[in-house]
């Protein structure tokens, strides 16, 4: 993977083509990461894939982290590989939680470092399982990268299924591991622990 100076060189080249796209860089525990503007994430991913000398053409993982109580709350992580050079680079887009805007200020150390505002925890929420989300609990949105990396199709669905991240332009943004009528986003940090077993068609008669 690129070292810290190499990461800054990549940032400088991206800035020439996509001004303001890279908000920060980090090189921690051997992980090189570009923190990018969510509105320009496709431009950055496309540049890393296609620009001469880059060639990060394989998306090995797309996953989400919930940084509650920090704000921006969610991090969408893209792990890109250049298989010829056996190099890895991470792209991270931070998303605010639109459902928490009316709940008051948030505090804690943000995922990219630095202090945030005082935290006022909202009650656990259980939005409906549609892509749009419940009217009183809007969902964070970011562009889908399926056209750039077809392997993202199922990974974006999993991120939606567990975290309620909407990937704009996804060809079939539906739940992938939980039942279609499941309510809520179970890997969010404010989701209640415990509860009833998940009902699938094979066990709904046994569990009532």
Over the chain (208 residues), what is each successive 10-residue block's mean pLDDT?
A: 85 95 88 95 98 96 97 97 92 93 52 45 38 63 98 98 98 94 92 76 63
Domain boundaries along the sequence of the chain? 4-207
- Find all residues with CB under 8 Å of 35, minimum gap 6, and list them: 22, 23, 24, 25, 26, 92, 93, 94, 112
- Position 99 scores a pLDDT of 84
Distance, CA of 155 to CA of 201 (rounded, Å)? 23
Residue 8's pLDDT is 92
pTM of the model: 0.80
4-207 CATH fold: Beta Polymerase; domain 2 (3.30.460)
């Amino acid at each position: 993977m690129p070292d810290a100076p190499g990461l800054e060189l990549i940032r400088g080249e991206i800035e020439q083509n996509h001004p303001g796209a890279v908000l920060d860089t980090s090189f921690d525990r051997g992980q090189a990461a570009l923190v990018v503007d969510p509105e320009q994430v496709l431009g950055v991913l496309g540049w890393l894939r296609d620009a001469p000398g880059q060639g990060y053409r394989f998306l090995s993982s797309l996953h989400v982290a919930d940084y509650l109580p920090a704000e921006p709350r969610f991090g969408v992580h893209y792990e890109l590989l250049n298989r010829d050079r056996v190099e890895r680079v991470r792209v991270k887009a931070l998303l605010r939680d639109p459902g928490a805007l009316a709940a008051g200020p948030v505090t804690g150390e943000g995922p990219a470092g630095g202090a945030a505002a005082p935290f006022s925890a909202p009650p656990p929420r259980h939005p409906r399982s549609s892509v749009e989300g419940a009217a009183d609990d809007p969902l964070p949105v970011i562009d889908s990268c399926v056209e750039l990396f077809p392997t993202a199709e199922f990974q974006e669905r999993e991120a939606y299924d567990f975290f309620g991240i909407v990937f704009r332009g996804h060809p079939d943004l539906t739940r992938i591991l939980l039942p279609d009528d499941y309510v809520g986003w179970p890997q969010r940090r404010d989701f209640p622990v415990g509860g009833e077993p998940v009902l699938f068609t094979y066990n709904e008669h046994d569990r009532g």
